[in-house]
Amino acid sequence: MSWGLGGTEVEAKDVIGSGAPLDREAPEAEAPATVNRRAARALSLWWIPGFGIVAGRKALKEIRWTGEQGRDKAVRAIIVNSVVTAVLAAGLLAANLSGNSGTTQVTAFHLDPGQCYENTGKTVLDRKVYARVEVVRKISCGQPHDGEVVSTWDTAETWRDHPSDDVLDDRVKGECYKRLTGYAADLWALPEHLKLMSLYLTGVSYLGRGDRPAVCLLQGDGTEKLSLPLRQDPAGRTPAQTTYLTAVNAYEVALSARPQGDNALIDPTGWKQYASGMAAAARRERDALRAGSWTGAAGAAVNVVEADAGDAAADWDRASGSRDPGVIDRYCGAAAADAPESAARAARRALGLAAGDAPLLA
């Protein structure tokens, strides 16, 4: 005799050794284990950030106790949802630092010239430059703030080569000083506690990238907040003031590019080249002041500054023409002393410019 099992004819036999006939009725099949509902739900809703991670972990705990199926679903839900959550978080961070969404939390690389900020003390990975940068909060320049942006530019457009980090540092500092004189030409009118700072990509950061953004910042030393914007309106100056500031600022920009070695005894070649450039800068200052139109007391005061520039040019020439490190160092020091602050202060006072203390922006 036979009976049907799943559509197949199976012959009935006695159990060996028992002498008893095999039960003619088919044994009842064992019910399959159910799939954990939480695991299935976690996988089906993989696109909801965080949900698959939490639900998948809870499902794994339940499966250990109940013996249900679905462990593979729970694990896949955790993995897939972790990726989704991470991608979303990265997108939100990038959007937060885009500077285009109106958010106040950005880095200096996302600020525009003239914008003011306050420091937060926090750092983030800025995906615009792929570097870790401090977060600042954009704020109105009419409110107390820590600093403001002087200029932003792409160093790749200014310098086509890829200099070492030391060379790049000197270049950026010099460029920031030059751009500062266009932002606030009357440097003596700036608060005494300011620092001229810069942010830029080092060689490691810009390797393989076409752009190399840089930012110039005017920032306080932390002792007090700035209460007013630092950008100056050139329309508020007289022609004589503009002529004077243009002449002396050009010399100050050249002066700021001093070699890294403290003196000519350490780096005679660097200081010899520096002296040559400074001699030319001093002559340009002298000639620009000589060509200016001065009236009254301003004329006499500016004539003193003009004469000092001529003396400085002569000493810079002596320094650049020597091969002796000691002589180079001596004449470089003499050239620096040829332009005393007292003469500059007298000229500024006669021209109606701020005549307090000279700025310390290094």
Given a cut of 50, whether residue 158 has pLDDT beyond it is: yes
- C-alpha 56/C-alpha 45 separation (Å) is 11
CA distances for 308 relative to 254, 279, 336, 349, 356, angstroms = 16, 12, 10, 17, 20
| pLDDT category of residue 12 using cuts at 50, 70 and 90 | very low
Task: Output the pLDDT for position 320.
Answer: 95
pTM: 0.67
* Average pLDDT of the segment spanning 267-281: 94
The number of beta carbons lying within 10 Å of the beta carbon of residue 164 is 10
| pLDDT category of residue 356 using cuts at 50, 70 and 90 | confident
Residues 108-154: tens digit of each pLDDT: 989 999 999 999 989 887 777 777 889 999 999 999 999 999 999 88
CA triplet 171, 173, 175: central angle to 5 degrees? Answer: 65
Domain boundary assignment for the chain: 34-96, 102-232, 234-356
Highest mean pLDDT out of 158-167, 193-202, 343-352 = 343-352
Task: Output the pLDDT for position 42.
Answer: 83
Residue 349: both structure tokens together: 């006072």
| pLDDT category of residue 27 using cuts at 50, 70 and 90 | very low
